[in-house]
């Protein structure tokens, strides 16, 4: 999945693993519309990724939370809002992109 992500994100974006099965993509100088577009590109790329186990194809999906850093918050606060949006995506049925409040 990390290899697929590096193919989808821009050269200026920063990809990091966060927790057991979560990733963070930090995008500089990017508005929510562009973040949403990247989130959808990532979601579609992972959904189309083949995963074969013992000749069985396993479908992969990804849930994504997106937040734009506000002038009055720090990195931990924006990450917390993105994480909240991620869990909202999971509660709403997974395989979707949700923008943070």
- pLDDT at site 60: 92
DSSP 3-state of 16: strand
Q: Which strand (E) or helix (H) includes residue 95?
A: none
- pLDDT at site 50: 83
- pLDDT at site 19: 82
pTM here is 0.89
Structure tokens of 34? 């562009």
73 vs 84: CA distance, rounded Å: 15
Say whether 21 is catalytic: yes
pLDDT of the chain, 101 residues: tens digit per residue: 899 999 999 999 999 998 888 999 999 989 999 999 999 999 999 999 988 999 899 999 999 999 999 999 999 999 999 999 999 999 999 999 999 98
Q: From the candidates 4, 21, 47, 73, give the one annotated as an active-site residue.
A: 21
Strand partners, 18: 22
């Amino acid at each position: 999945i990390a290899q697929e992500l590096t193919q989808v994100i821009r050269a200026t974006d920063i990809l990091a693993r966060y927790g057991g099965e979560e990733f963070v993509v930090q995008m500089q100088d990017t508005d929510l519309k562009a973040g949403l577009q990247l989130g959808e590109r990532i979601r579609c790329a992972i959904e189309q990724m083949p995963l074969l186990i013992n000749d069985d194809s396993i479908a992969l999906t990804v849930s994504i939370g997106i937040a734009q850093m506000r002038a009055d918050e720090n990195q931990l606060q924006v990450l917390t809002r993105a994480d909240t949006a991620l869990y909202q995506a999971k509660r709403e049925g997974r395989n979707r992109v949700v923008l943070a409040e």
